[in-house]
Amino acid sequence: MPRHVPILIAACVVGLIFLGAVAWKTGVFDRPPQAAVGGPFQLIDQNGKPTDESILKGKWTVVFFGFTYCPDVCPTTMQALGAAQQQLGPKADQMQVVFMSLDPARDTPAQLKTYLGSDIFPKGTIGLTGTPEQVDAAAKAYRVYYKKNGEGADYLVDHSTAAYLMDPKGRFDRVIPYGISPEEIARQISDAMR
């Protein structure tokens, strides 16, 4: 074996130990891995304006997927987000809510505008819809399950119930589970803003 091979191996081992020490010292191993949630999308907002993922930048954003004919989960979640927004006080200016429709056949921009105009929903909520292909791509980017259930005009859409908190750079921060109190939602958002 050539004389320089053991020296090269020793240098590599020392380098790896050094990199490991730096990573440990900076806390890299303390952070949980980030899930691949979110990504590019092309949709239409409640005013008929084409919109993409850039709307997530600049504020903390709660992204929720639902549909306007939803009888339970969607209005309950939106009402809880509205109450949480109020509890944030001045910090509420640093957040926004985006409601992404999973029912492009019925959730037109006009329908979204009417639905999101409710006084109990978060102020300034951005409603998004699009073609079935656009909605499907957005749902896949956020790992959202959904499926049309039933036929005729009164069908429902089964779907995931969690909301997603995205940071001001548009990156996933955490899941906001369905059914938690507005106080807990406000606490989680406030903690993330620190």
Q: What are phi and psi of 170, to 5 degrees?
A: 85, 15
Output the pLDDT for position 3. Answer: 72
pLDDT digits (tens, 9 = 90+) for 108-118: 999 999 999 99
Q: For 42-193, which CATH superfamily applies?
A: Glutaredoxin (3.40.30.10)
Domain boundaries, the chain: 1-31, 42-193
Question: CA 24 to CA 29: how far, in whole Å?
Answer: 6
Residue 155: exposed, middle, or buried by beta-carbon count in 10 A (0-12, 13-18, 19+)? middle
Helix (H, G, I), strand (E, B) or coil at 43: strand
Predicted structure pTM score: 0.82
Other CB atoms within 10 A of residue 48 CB: 11
Output the pLDDT for position 78. Answer: 97
Closest alpha carbon to 116 in 158, 64, 166: 64
Longest Cα separation, the chain: 80
Output the pLDDT for position 32. Answer: 52
